[in-house]
Amino acid sequence: MSDHGDHPRLVGATEGSPSASAAVSPTAIAVSVRAHRAPAGATAERAATAMPTSGPLVDRYGRVHSDLRISLTDRCNLRCVYCMPEDMTFQPHEQLLSFDEIVTVARVGRELGVNSIRLTGGEPLVRRGVVDLVARLSTLGFDDIAMTTNATRLAALAKPLRAAGLSRVNISCDSLRAERFATIRRRGDLATVLHAMDVAEAVGLRPLKLNVVLLRGVNDDEILDFAAFARQTGRIVRFIEFMPLDAQGQWDRDRLVPGRDVIELISSRWPLRDVDGPTHLAPAERFAFADGRGEIGLISSVTEAFCGTCNRLRLTADGSIRNCLFSNEEHSVRAILRAGGGDEQIAMLLRRAVWAKFPGHAINEPQFLRPVRSMSMIGG
């Protein structure tokens, strides 16, 4: 594993003719993507200090939290095999936060230094009135309001969403082959999603990112196809490792495709340049094609945890604050809201939730227990 600093660097070397598609070999050679991202200020000294009651949302390890992921619903119109079963049970509507409640939490978060919001779910676009919610959130002064969506309903909503203040979208798309797309997502179709990408870009929801969950033996033979797609379209394709957050509990380490194998394969065809230094905050590790034609990303939550620079906080659709996807600890802001609590109480709950955050998840530790709530319930 090579050491590297903040400077861009080249990964891979050979230019050759592309194979139309190729699966990664489970025994692929390790390459020099970063092994982990160093925690900022994770010292015993800091851990011993008292929780601040003013200033930004900071945890015991000095990580300032400025990104809030808001799940609008646990419901979805698809049933992706890595996410939820056909007969998924959803929460009763009355348990979900109302838009007024969501806006209140977002406003308090903004006052505490949150500057970016991501709307997710479940599928955020199945929540009725989502455009109005975006319009309300956009008056609060966030730098960025993004959304992660399966895009089945995006084509019709892209323009009003953009007008309401949405900055950009990440679209989930796990295959570029129609039949396989339908098998993985169980419902929906590829053509609708590809069309939605065009519409989203046309109305200014840019840069457009694709989320691709790779499953070994299912779609890992499309890695080069996705890389070619990124080069042709300028869309940023992010390869996501399968995480132990599927509602069926069928996650298995052997089914995930490690990010470094992906980068090894792509860089053997098209040399890549590491875009960010080791201390950037985004979960995706970004790589640009060395010839300047596009960019890809890796979200290697399992094999290359990025906890050391995590700045994320989550609000579940039923009103709990979670400080980590992989933790079971939740802090109910709904209880405060529905008991008539005010901004100060909400602010203290946000502070406590952040302060309680562990230095990192323990997926790779023997004692790891998968979270009780799955990805679509938490808000991915």
Binding stretches for ligand SAM (CB under 6 A): 76, 82-83, 120-121, 123, 148-150, 172, 211, 213, 240, 242-243, 245-246, 375-376, 380
Smallest distance, ligand SAM to C-beta of residue 187, A: 12
Which of 263, 264, 276 is closest to 5 using CA atoms? Answer: 276
| DSSP letter assigned to residue 78 | -
Compare residues 58 and 205 and give the one whose CB is closer to ligand SAM. 205
Site for ligand SF4 in 241-260 (CB under 6 A): none
Q: Does 76 bind ligand SF4 (CB under 6 A)?
A: yes
Closest residue by beta carbon to ligand SAM:
380
Q: Which of 31, 57, 83, 154 binds ligand SF4 (CB under 6 A)?
A: 83
Smallest distance, ligand SAM to C-beta of residue 241, A: 7
Smallest distance, ligand SF4 to C-beta of residue 148, A: 8
The span of 76-84, 128-136, 298-306, 327-335 binding ligand SF4 (CB under 6 A) equals 76-84
Smallest distance, ligand SAM to C-beta of residue 92, A: 20
291: Cα separation from own chain's centroid: 27
Smallest distance, ligand SAM to C-beta of residue 128, A: 16
Per-residue binding letters, 20-59, with ligand SF4 (x by CB under 6 A):
----------------------------------------
250 Cβ partners below 8 Å, 6+ apart?
Answer: none
DSSP 337-373: HHTT--HHHHHHHHHHHHHT--SS--TTSTT----SS
Q: Does 227 bind ligand SF4 (CB under 6 A)?
A: no
In three-state secondary structure terms, 377 is helix
Half-sphere exposure of 304 (CA within 13 A, CB side): 27
Tell me how far apart the alpha carbons of residues 117 and 166 are, in angstroms, rounded to a whole number: 10
| DSSP letter assigned to residue 316 | -
Q: Does 264 bind ligand SF4 (CB under 6 A)?
A: no
- What does 240 interact with, of ligand SF4, ligand SAM, none (CB < 5 to 8 A by kind)? ligand SAM
The tokens for 268 are: 């053997």
Smallest distance, ligand SAM to C-beta of residue 150, A: 4
Q: Is residue 370 within 8 Å of residue 378, measured between CB atoms?
A: no
Compare residues 268 and 316 and give the one whose CB is closer to ligand SF4. 316
348 Cβ partners below 8 Å, 6+ apart?
Answer: 53
Instruction: List the helix and strand counts (H, then E) for the chain.
Output: 11, 13
Around Cβ 216, how many Cβ atoms within 10 Å? 18
- The owner of tokens 């990104």 is 67
Compare residues 257 and 333 and give the one whose CB is closer to ligand SAM. 257
In three-state secondary structure terms, 182 is helix
Site for ligand SF4 in 96-135 (CB under 6 A): 121-123
Provide the binding-site residues for ligand SF4, judged by CB under 6 A.
Answer: 76, 78-80, 83-84, 121-123, 150, 172, 376
